[in-house]
Structure 1
Amino acid sequence: MKNKYFAAVFILFTCLTHSQHYDFKTIIDLETTNVISQDHTGTCWSFSTSSFLESEIIRITGDQIDLSEMYNVRHAYINKSWNYIMRQGKTQFSEGGLAHDVIHSISEHGFVPNAAYTGLMNGRTKHDHSKLVDTLKSTLDNYIKAPKSFNWKKHVNAILDSYLGSNVTSFNYKGVAYTPASFMKKTKIIPEDYVTITSFSHKPFYTNFILNIPDNFSNGAFFNVKLDELIHIVNNALEKGFTIELDCDVSEKTFSSKHGLAILPKDGINLEDAFINISEEKQVTQELRQQEFENYNTTDDHLMHITGVLKDQNGTTYYKVKNSWGTNPKRVNNGGYIYMSEAYFKLKTISVMLHKKAIPKKVFKILKKST
C-alpha cells in the first residue's frame, strides 16, 4: 500500500515538473505607443520602424506622437520604382522593405504625424496595397518595354496620389506650422544615430557588408558581429532603456500570434503542447544559424519592435515584441505582442536596428572604425 502511495506521488510530481504552464514575469517594459494593424499591406517595415521611432521620441523628449507610416511608404515606393527602372525590371518589386529604408526616407524627407498623412483615401479606414503594387509594377514594366514612351516619375506620383494622397510639404500640428523636416527636428530624431546590426559567418565579423536578402533593394549596410555579441548588444540596450527594431523570420510553425509566442522546441516535442507548457528548446550556435539562413529555413519575413524582457518561472529569457497585426483577441494574444524566446531570437533574427548610444562602447569603437 505504501509503495502504491509513493508511486502515485512520484507520478504526480513528475507531471507537475514536466508540465508547467507559462508564467511570465516582466523584467523590462519600455514605453511605446499603442499596437495598431498594418492591415492588408506588406509594409511591416514602416509600421515597426515608425513604432520604434515613436518610442525613441518618448525616450528623448517625453512626447507621444503617432507618426505616419504611409508618408514613409510613399517615398519608399518612389525609391523602389527608381531601383526597378534602373535594373530594367531584373529585380524584385514588392511591398517589402527594411528598417533602414525608413531611416533613408526621413533623412531626405523628414516625417509627419499620422494626422497630417493617413494614406487612406476615399473614406477608407483600412490599408490595402494589393492593387497599388500591381498598378505601379505594370506601369514600370510598360516603361521598361518602351522607355521613351512616357515620363514614369510623373505616372508613379499620380498613382501614389490616387492611392495614398498627395505628398505633404507643410501642415499644422497642435496649432503650430511645420514642414516634415522641421517636425523631425522638433522630435530631436537624428537619422545618422541609428545602426543596423546582424550576425552571419559568411562575411568577416566586425565589418559592414550588404546583406543579400530580397527586400534589401536599397543595398543597406549591416554591421556584422558574433551571435553572443548580438545577444549582449540587445540585452544591454534594453537594460539602458532603448527599444530595438527587429527583422526576423515568422514563417515557422513555432511562431504563433494566436498564442502570442515564438519558441524553438526541440524536435519531437508536440507543438500544441509547447504553446501551453514550457518545453525544452534547441541550442542555437553560430553554425546552426548560418546553416538555416543559407538553406532558406530562415528568411526575411517580418519586422517588429522589441520593447521589453520577460522571464518564465524557469528563468528563461523572452523578448517582448510589439507586432503590427492589431489587437483582435480572435487573432492575437498578449494584446498584440509576441513573447519571443531567446533561442528563437538567436536562430530567426535577420537583423536589429538601434540607437548608437545603446551599443556597448567596445563594440561601437570597432563599428566607427569600420565605417
Structure 2
Amino acid sequence: MYNFSIKPVVMASALLMGLSSGFAQDNLVNALKNNASSNSKESFKFTDVINLENTSIKNQGSSGTCWSYSANSFIESEMIRMGKQPVELSQIFSARNAYVEKGKMYVRMHGAVTLGDGGAFHDVMNMYRKYGAVPQTVYTGLNYGTDKNKFAEMSGVMEGVLAAVVKNPNGELTPNWEKAYTAVIDAYLGQVPTSFDYKGKKYTPQSFAKEVVGINPDDYVEISSLQEYPYYSKFTLLVPDNWAFDQVYNVKMDELTEIIDNALKKGYTVAWAGDVSEKGFSWKNGVAFIPEKNFADMTPEEKADMFNGPKPEMKITEELRQKAFDNYTTTDDHGMHIVGISKDQNGKEYYIVKNSWGLSNDYKGYLYMTKDFVKYKTTDIMVHKGAIPSAIAKKLKL
C-alpha cells in the first residue's frame, strides 16, 4: 500500500496496492523474479499439516487490487467453511464500489487522501455491507477490450476528474461531480447490474449477498501489532491506503502467529497484508523468509543459493518490527490469503499462502511463508472473531 525510497523494488511495491496502477503489477512481479534460485523446488520438501479448501487462483493483472482479490478469496473460503457452495465472487465489483466511496472521501478531505487502486480488507467488507456482492460471471470489470485488468488509464482519468473538483472552480460544489466521476469508472469497468439471474433465480447484489454468500461482515476484525499503541485496544493503522480511516486491534507480535495458527486449526483461513519487497521473498520460487544474514553482506554464492532449501533466519523482535514499520522498510504493499500450514524437511512450519498473480511460479500460484516473515512483515490480518484464541479475544473484549 505504500513506500517511497528505501529498497530497490520499493516503488513497484508501493504501486501495487496504493499509489498508482497500470504497469505496477508487472513491475513488481518482474522485480521479484530476480529473487530466485535455480534448484529451489527440488531443494524443499514440503509436507502439508493443514490445507483448507479454497477457490481457484486468480490474476489481478495490471491493477492494484490485491486487497480485493485476497479478501474475496477469503470470503469464498468462509462460504466453504460454513457448508455453502462457494461462488467465485467479483473482485472488481468490490473495487469499483470502493473507488466510488474513495472519491467521495477524497473530495471531503480536499484531496488529502491517497488515490490509486489500493485499498484494505475492510474496504471489501464495508462495500459488501453497503452494496452487496455479485458473481464474477456477472461483473468482470473488463469493459475496455482486454482479457485482464489494466487500470492505468482509468486511474489517470479518475484522478483528473477529482483534481478538477477539488479546485472548486465555481466556488461551490454541485452534486453533478459525483455523477461525472462515477461515469468515468463505469465507462471502464461497466455499470453494475441492479439485478441478475443466478442458477435460475433473480437477485439484486444485496439479496445475493444475504441469501447466497451469507456472511455477516460484522463477524470479522482486522488485527495488527505495533509497540507505539496500547495492546488490546484499537488504533487507526496509518498507511495511505487506509483512506476510510478504519481501526484495527493491536496485539503483541507473537500473538499474530498465535491467532493465525489457531484460526487454521479451527478451519478458518486468514487474509494477510504486508511487505513482499524483501530480498527474502521469491515469487518465482514460492518461498518467503527473513535471512539470518543481511543481503548486502552476502557473497554472490550465498545470494544465488538463498532459496535452495531451508536457511536459518534472523531473530525477530517487537523492537525490530516497529523500527521497520517506522523507517519504511516494512511497507503495506500486498494482500494475500493464508490457507494452511506446511512443514519443510527439517520440521519447520510455513504458512501456505494463496496469491493473485496467476500460476506463474513454482507452486502454481501458492507460496510458503515462514512464521518469522509473518511476524516481521505483516501490516495487518483479517479473521473471523471465532478464530481468535479465547484468551486473546477476552483481552480484546470480543
Q: TM-score, normalised on structure 1?
A: 0.91
Which residue is 2:14 aligned to? none
Query: In the TM superposition, what is the alpha-carbon distance from 1:122 to its structure 2 partner?
Result: 4.2
Pick from 223, 232, 245 the counterpart of residue 219 of structure 1: 245
1:349 is matched with which residue? 378
Letter matched to residue 204 of structure 1: P
1:231, distance to aligned residue in structure 2 (A): 1.3
1:88 — aligned with what? 110
Q: 2-side partners of 1:357 and 1:272: how far apart? A: 43
Range moving further from structure 2, 270-279 or 254-263: 270-279
Q: Report what 1:14 is aligned to.
A: none
Separation of aligned partners in 2, 1:271 and 1:343? 19
Give distance in 2, aligned partners of 1:228 and 1:298.
17
* Whole-angstrom CA distance in 2 between matches of 1:156 and 1:319: 41
Match of 1:362 in 2: 391
**Cα contact 2:337–2:353 (8 A) shared by 1:** yes
Structure 1 distance, partners of 2:201, 2:389, is: 38
Match of 2:51 in 1: 29
* C-alpha distance in 1 between matches for 2:198 and 2:395: 41
Structure-2 residue corresponding to 1:259: 285
1:61–1:188 Cα contact (<8 Å) kept: no
Letter in 1 for 2:127: S
1:143 maps to which of 158, 165, 182? 165
Name the structure 2 match of 1:114: 136
Q: Describe how 1:114-263 pairs up with structure 2 within 5 A.
A: 114-145=136-167, 146=169, 148=172, 151-186=176-211, 187-263=213-289
The offset of 1:361, in angstroms, is 1.7
Q: Distance in 2 between matches of 1:34 and 1:61?
A: 18
* Structure 1 range deviating more: 111-120 or 123-132: 123-132
SS class of match (1:115): coil
| Counterpart residue number, 2:367 | 338
Residue 41 of structure 1, CA deviation: 0.2
Secondary structure of the corresponding residue to residue 396 of structure 2: helix
Give the aligned residue type for 1:247: A
Return the letter of the residue paired with 1:317: E
C-alpha distance after superposition, 1:231-267 (max 9, x if no partner): 1111000011100000010111211111111111111
Q: Specify the code of the residue in structure 1 equivalent to 2:226.
A: F
2-structure distance, mates of 1:281, 1:352: 22
What do residues 146-174 of structure 1 show as CA deviations (whole Å, max 9, x unaligned)? 25476210111111110001122211101
Aligned position for 1:315: 347
Once superposed, which parts of structure 1, at least 4 consecutive aligned residues long, lie more than 4 Å away?
none
> What RMSD over aligned residues (CA atoms) do the two structures have, in Å?
1.4
Instruction: Work out the CA distance in 1 between the residues paired with 2:163 and 2:43.
Output: 53
Paired residues of 2:353 and 2:369 also in contact (CA < 8 A): yes
**1:4: which partner in 2?**
none
Deviation by residue 1:184-233 (Cα, 9 ceiling, x = unmatched): 11222111010101111000000011010111111111100001111111
Q: Which one has the largest radius of gyration?
A: 1
Code of the aligned partner of 1:143:
V
Counterpart pick for 1:101 among 123, 141, 164: 123
Distance 2:228 2:146 in 1: 46
Deviations 1:81-109 (A, max 9, x none): 01111111123211110000000000111
| 1:287 equivalenced with 2:319 (yes/no) | yes
Q: Gaps spanning 5+ residues in structure 2: where?
A: 1-41
